[in-house]
Structure 1
Amino acid sequence: MSDAVEVFLDAMPGETRGMVFRNGYPEHLLIERDSDVPQHRLGARCVGRVTEVNAGLRGAFVDLGAGDPAGFLPLAREAPVRNGDRIAVEVTAEPRDGKGPVLRLTGAGEGTPRLLEAGPDVAARLATLAPGVDVETGLAAISAGHEAVEAALGMTTVIPAIGLDLAVQRTRALVAVDIDHAPLAGRDARKGRDQANREGLVQAARLIRLKRWGGLVVVDLIGTGQDGEMILRTAKAAFGGDPAVVIGPVNRFGVLSLSLPWRLRPIEAVLGRTLEDRALDTVRALRHRLLEDTATPRLTAVCPPDEAAVAAPLVARLGPRAALRAQTGLLPGTARIEED
């Protein structure tokens, strides 16, 4: 039976979100903001200037004309670039954890460091992730975005029907996945364990994609003495589709290890609850009410002054029915919508 795939696009002033749901669960969350540095976006093509060739790191730091952090170009043993060279590069991984974007050399460059071609936008990437699927917008997309964000920032998934309790957490060194199982009365414990392991791998892969994590992933499976071939087949299907994914065997402790490529900024870095995040939440809440309530002549978002200062130019783009008022004394993130 084929998967049921839903695609949503929520485009508003200041931010665009794209969501892919599979069988009712959010699987991909794409976020593009007006404040993003275009030279740092996945797929961006730039002219850069080599500022340092670092033999110890086997790479070069590249000025992309966007300030710090500089891009990093991995190099083979024979470095094809020298300090001061102008080169053409493509972003293969976005900045994370204080590190600049990872680059791929595409040729020689000329002139000052600058953006040559922006990376694919949210709509284009949705078309790649779910080709041929109709895209839903409006209120449905806003709701889907809220659901996807909540799931992306969460750490656990529970599926009572099969007794699955899954935890996915990221440390500085790795992503830890713990698959746990509560046996159900009247069901074969061994079959239940195998089913929970299979579904746990599927859900872990979905959550890691949703969170946009990469690196070393360690999965603590239920019990020991698993069917290693079954686990590997399930893991390849769940995490597969990318030649950069490396999956190791299940060890004698019932632990599966794999390596995933980093490509996008991790979701917790994008949704950091900053002033910009709160202002965008206010704009989204106002837009939601405008779409939901088409009869009221004017709707006003009331929020703290610092949030209002950031939100004001975005609210102005929502049209004549949208208004904004700053009110001192409100706690951060406590905006409300009022009818005029």
Structure 2
Amino acid sequence: MNTKSDHKTAKAPSERRAYLYKGVGETVGVVTLDGRPERLFVSWPSDDPLDAEGVRGVARIKSVEKTFASAFVALPGGQDVLLPIRPDMPRLVEGGVVEIEIKTASRLDKAAVARFVAEGQGEPRVIDTAPTVEALLRHYVKAGSPTTGEKALAAVEEAEADALAIVFALPGGGDIAVETTRALATVDVDLGAREAADSKRASRQANMAALSVASRVLRLKGLGGIIIFDLVGRGHDGQALTTAARNLFAPDNPGVGIGAISKFGTLEMIVPRRAPPILDRLLTRNGSPNPRYVARQLARALEREGRADPGGRLTARCAAAVAEAFAAELDAGVAERLGRRFVIESRSDFGIDRIEVSAG
């Protein structure tokens, strides 16, 4: 079982740091909170630049769907975007134009969602592009420049491992399991071997710790929408727990809503969705490793081995799908950095997530 621990949090409360890694075919940023990854930003050259939070422009109205109070609009060269219609907006007409801002990027089978800015003027066009990874890091960590190089890559790989994990240990004992369905995300709190003077105190401490760890993990995974905490114990101090949740999820505002604790011991809340879940990039639709992501892990491994043995010939072994993704997206970039001193061997007996690199 992949269990992540948050014992580092006792060191330096509320300290955020930024890390920036620029590899072949990827730019990745990490924000850490008290030494643990809190946010993960990934950019690949093939990404759609118009399908991202913060893109702003004048869009053409393609259709008006009165039955669910929305319209489909599109920026030049962009995909259809859902624009919810509010009572205070001007009347929308098919073929007309409207100024919008992308509020939520698309995810899986769901279109991106925009917000109305103003009535459109002139021809459809892009006014502002989405912030870069570097700009996002500066937004969340305003002090100092991001750490780069090997330390940044180590932070990236720790963040990716955390994003892929399900179970996270709580300081003091117990753990949480963070899982998703199509409709919502759940956080199951387990008391484990936590020790306290009495069971009620142990439960309270575990639930408080669970809120703290989960707020970080949910940001890292990019999860939003309805979140349900299955709290441990009975007779909860509802005011204390909801106040703690409000403070811990304050960085996700505006738009966070927190409900009362139900008679079943669950705390329900809603967190705005802004970026697609990071697992949409790391995994395929069926939950297996994404060959395009594994190909980037392979490129990192080649660079590491290449630096360790500057003149050596390198051999990389991987599954066929990973080799195909590497050849299509990364081969030329790795060759530019290392020279043409590596070969990629496609292996039918390798799983998607298995890669090997050797020198000699």
* TM-score exceeds 0.5: yes
Q: What's the secondary structure of 1:10's corresponding residue?
A: strand
User: Residues 183 and 192 of structure 1 are in contact (CA less than 8 Å); yes or no, is this contact kept in structure 2?
Assistant: no
User: Residues 219 and 256 of structure 1 are in contact (CA less than 8 Å); yes or no, is this contact kept in structure 2?
Assistant: yes
Q: Percent of pairs identical after alignment?
A: 28
Q: What's the secondary structure of 1:162's corresponding residue?
A: coil
Question: Pairwise mapping of residues 307-322 of structure 1 onto structure 2 (< 5 A)?
Answer: 307-310=325-328, 311-320=330-339
CA RMSD in angstroms comes to 2.2
User: Residues 46 and 114 of structure 1 are in contact (CA less than 8 Å); yes or no, is this contact kept in structure 2?
Assistant: yes
Name 1:8's counterpart in structure 2.
Answer: 19
CA separation of 1:141 and 1:121: change in aligned 2, threshold 3 A: same
Deviations along 1:1-43, one digit per CA (max 9) or x if unpaired, are 7423222111112111111111222111111111110000111
Q: How far 1:184 sits from its partner (Å)? A: 4.1
**5+ long unaligned stretches in structure 2:** 1-11, 284-288
- Using the alignment, how far apart are the partners of 1:13 and 1:114 within structure 2? 31
> Match for 1:312: what amino acid?
D
Deviations along 1:149-205, one digit per CA (max 9) or x if unpaired, are 11111111123x522221111111211111121354564332222111101011111
Q: Once structures 1 and 2 are overlaid, which stretch shifts more, 275-284 or 192-201?
A: 275-284
Is 1:71 the counterpart of 2:81 in the alignment?
yes
Match of 2:244 among 214, 220, 234: 234
- Using the alignment, how far apart are the partners of 1:181 and 1:18 within structure 2? 33
Is 1:62 the counterpart of 2:73 in the alignment?
yes
Name 1:110's counterpart in structure 2.
Answer: 122
CA separation of 1:186 and 1:271: change in aligned 2, threshold 3 A: closer
> Match for 2:297: what amino acid?
D
Deviations along 1:248-281, one digit per CA (max 9) or x if unpaired, are 1112222111111110011111112333222222
User: Residues 139 and 288 of structure 1 are in contact (CA less than 8 Å); yes or no, is this contact kept in structure 2?
Assistant: no
Is 1:281 the counterpart of 2:297 in the alignment?
yes
- Using the alignment, how far apart are the partners of 2:196 and 2:102 within structure 1? 53
Name 1:173's counterpart in structure 2.
Answer: 183
Q: What's the secondary structure of 2:116's corresponding residue?
A: strand
- Using the alignment, how far apart are the partners of 2:17 and 2:217 within structure 1? 17
- Using the alignment, how far apart are the partners of 2:315 and 2:15 within structure 1? 37
Is 1:52 the counterpart of 2:71 in the alignment?
no
Q: How far 1:82 sits from its partner (Å)? A: 1.1
CA separation of 1:109 and 1:339: change in aligned 2, threshold 3 A: farther
> Match for 2:135: what amino acid?
A
Name 1:163's counterpart in structure 2.
Answer: 173
- Using the alignment, how far apart are the partners of 1:185 and 1:34 within structure 2? 50
Match of 1:254 among 265, 279, 297: 265
Name 2:358's counterpart in structure 1.
Answer: 338
CA separation of 1:105 and 1:306: change in aligned 2, threshold 3 A: same
> Match for 1:297: what amino acid?
G
Name 2:94's counterpart in structure 1.
Answer: 83
Is 1:329 the counterpart of 2:347 in the alignment?
yes
**5+ long unaligned stretches in structure 1:** none
CA separation of 1:17 and 1:225: change in aligned 2, threshold 3 A: same
Q: What's the secondary structure of 1:263's corresponding residue?
A: coil
Q: How far 1:338 sits from its partner (Å)? A: 3.4
Match of 2:256 among 237, 241, 245: 245
Q: Once structures 1 and 2 are overlaid, which stretch shifts more, 43-52 or 182-191?
A: 182-191
Question: Pairwise mapping of residues 167-246 of structure 1 onto structure 2 (< 5 A)?
Answer: 167-184=177-194, 187-241=197-251, 242-246=253-257
- Using the alignment, how far apart are the partners of 2:146 and 2:128 within structure 1? 25
Q: What's the secondary structure of 2:293's corresponding residue?
A: helix
> Match for 1:289: what amino acid?
E
Q: What's the secondary structure of 2:64's corresponding residue?
A: strand
Match of 1:149 among 150, 160, 184: 160
User: Residues 315 and 324 of structure 1 are in contact (CA less than 8 Å); yes or no, is this contact kept in structure 2?
Assistant: no
Aligned pair count reads: 334
Normalising by structure 1, report the TM-score: 0.90
